[in-house]
Structure 1
Amino acid sequence: MVPRVIDAEHRREYVVWVRFADGAEGEIDLESELWGRMFEPISIPEEFKRVSVDSELGTLVWPNGADFAPEFLYQKLCPNYKLKPTPQSGAA
């Protein structure tokens, strides 16, 4: 199962509440992840607040193009999560 973010809300500073399609929900603090060329612009609190959900990608996005993989966000919320490979159908 690849996690999909279906709802999100900025809560405070660099904390976002997220809900995943499987019902998992909670707050994720992303402050320590805001480094590098794509993420430094959203380290400005007013920019970070502009977070939204891209329903096609199933993850958090910002107007500057920054996003986080939904698997990464799910693991931040549920540390024991491990992406399981999708079973292959048919002959090898």
Structure 2
Amino acid sequence: MLKDIIEVSHQENYLLYLKFEDGKEGIVDISQLIKFTGIFAKLQDINYFKTVKLNPEWGTIYWENGADLDPDVLYSIVTEVEESNLKLLP
């Protein structure tokens, strides 16, 4: 089920804070998700990477060169990390 991203902000290096429409939020290391080749090559320049934008119509993040990421994949990562952290609690 698609959950739209409603907020994005650059943290450091290739880390992005993401918030989804259902309130789930977390930090995703984009360098662990993509290879900096093809349309993603320009994102290796950290200054360009920081220009990430939110496209509310698509419910995801993108860069001006046309690179974007599947919000379902990002949501899975955020919720998986959240669930892992919950499992660590006594």
On whether the aligned pair clears a TM of 0.5, the verdict is: yes
Where in structure 2 are the equivalents of 1:13-92 lying within 5 Å? 13-32=13-32, 33-79=34-80
**What is the alpha-carbon root mean square deviation over aligned residues?**
1.3
User: For the Cα contact (< 8 Å) 1:34–1:42, is it kept in 2?
Assistant: no
User: For the Cα contact (< 8 Å) 2:17–2:25, is it kept in 1?
Assistant: yes
User: For the Cα contact (< 8 Å) 2:5–2:61, is it kept in 1?
Assistant: yes
Is there any run of 5+ residues in structure 2 with no aligned partner, and where? 82-90
Q: TM-score under structure 1 normalisation?
A: 0.81
Structure 1 outlier segments of 4+, above 4 Å: none
Is there any run of 5+ residues in structure 1 with no aligned partner, and where? 81-92
Which residue does 1:11 correspond to in 2? 11
Number of residue-to-residue matches in the alignment = 80
Q: TM-score under structure 2 normalisation?
A: 0.83
